[in-house]
Amino acid sequence: MPTESLWLRWDVDPGVLLFLAALTAAYFWGIRRRSANETVTRGQIALFCSVIALLLLALVSPLNALGNDYLFSAHILQAFLLTTVCPPLLLLSLPDWLLSPLFRAGPLRRFARGYLFLLLATLLFNANFLLWLVPALYDSAVRHAPLHDMQSLLFLLTGVLNWWPLITPARNAPRWPHPLQLLYLFLDGIPLGLVSVTLFFVTYMPYTVYVNAPRLWGMSTGADLQLGSIILYVPGLLLDLVVLSMVFFKWLAKQEREATLREAALDEEAQREAPRTA
């Protein structure tokens, strides 16, 4: 297929469009039912609209055809958008009161405050991503639309779960201490890092769907595989470093505030004791 025709291949998948329409309707229905003391900012609405636009880019635009029929790196870019870009933006777009009723009491709140939740968040995300990289399942997903839709949905859901401990949008949901968030961030990227390094040095294309595919822009299968392995890990690693730095400095600022309050309390106590000793 000529490259010019490829850019006209917009995938109007009814299941994808129905999901995006339902997600949009649920969001605006939820924020319209707010009470007088519950607010939603224009920035949060803009973030949600950007999530919908990115989902359309990943699942409906020619990027979807590129990833399914031509380039491994395009499919990994699609997965990167679904797991690493859209989930944090979606969580940031949610007002803190919107999901709070789910965490006021009951088993969900108790589960979300336990260490098992952290383990499951990173385990399910990494296991899901690595499972879809198995060649047999990967080839089936890019060739069969229903399986591909399920893959995309799982990428998005496990991405949201993976980002939840770092961006908790519900005011009643438990917040994790900053040192634990730092450890979570450090350990979370190790599995995909090991796989991306392995793929970078593989000397053959393990995914048969691309072996006989037309080579676009003169890119060999080896270069495509290496580019995909870089997209798989490097942008996510850089984002993790940015988030890790933000969490670290927030922790330091909190420690300084607590130290200042302790010093102020000690000074006040010393001033109260001074007249007695005089």
* pLDDT level of residue 277 (50, 70, 90 thresholds): low
Task: State pLDDT tens for residues 30-54.
Answer: 998 877 778 899 999 999 999 999 9
CB distance 66 to 1 below 8 Å: no
Show Cβ contacts of residue 148 under 8 Å, excluding neighbours closer than 6 positions.
Answer: 68, 141, 142
d(CA 96, CA 74) in angstroms, rounded, equals 35
Which CA distances in Å does 179 have to 30, 170, 247? 33, 21, 8
In tens, the pLDDT along 203-260 reads: 999 999 999 888 888 899 999 999 999 999 888 877 777 777 777 677 677 777 777 7
Residue 186: left if φ>0, alpha if ψ -120 to 50, beta else—which one?
Answer: alpha
pLDDT at 275: 63
At residue 74, does pLDDT exceed 90? yes
Residue appearing with tokens 């996510």? 236
pTM of the predicted protein model: 0.86
How confident is the prediction for the chain on average, in pLDDT? 87
Closest CA to 95 of 27, 40, 48: 40
